[in-house]
Amino acid sequence: MKGKMNIYYDEEGDYLEIFAGAPKENYGEDIAEDVTLFKDEKTDEVVGIGILNFKKRATSLHEILSNLPISIKIEPA
């Protein structure tokens, strides 16, 4: 995932969503219970992730992201 990250968290629904780069047509692929990878419809590149029941699943974002089949590199803008 490359580009500016957009992070959205819905506390009431306990749903975390992270997307990178400009918005693109995408589809979701469930990779674990309550975890969905979003992929670009044209290239199949991972463009985002959605995590339902986020608070129940982990105590930190790092814990979840370290177990996913994607890498995220954080650099200064």
* CA dihedral of residues 62, 63, 67, 68 (deg, nearest 10): -40
Rounded Cα gap, residues 45 and 26, in angstroms: 9
| Number of Cβ within a 10 Å radius of residue 74 | 5
- C-alpha 3, offset from chain centre: 13
Q: What is the pTM of this model?
A: 0.71
C-alpha to C-alpha distance for 31 and 76, rounded to whole angstroms: 30
pLDDT (tens digit per residue) in 11-63? 899 999 999 888 889 999 998 889 999 999 999 998 999 999 988 776 656 66
User: Are 1 and 20 a contacting pair, CB within 8 Å?
Assistant: yes
* Per-domain residue ranges of the chain: 5-65
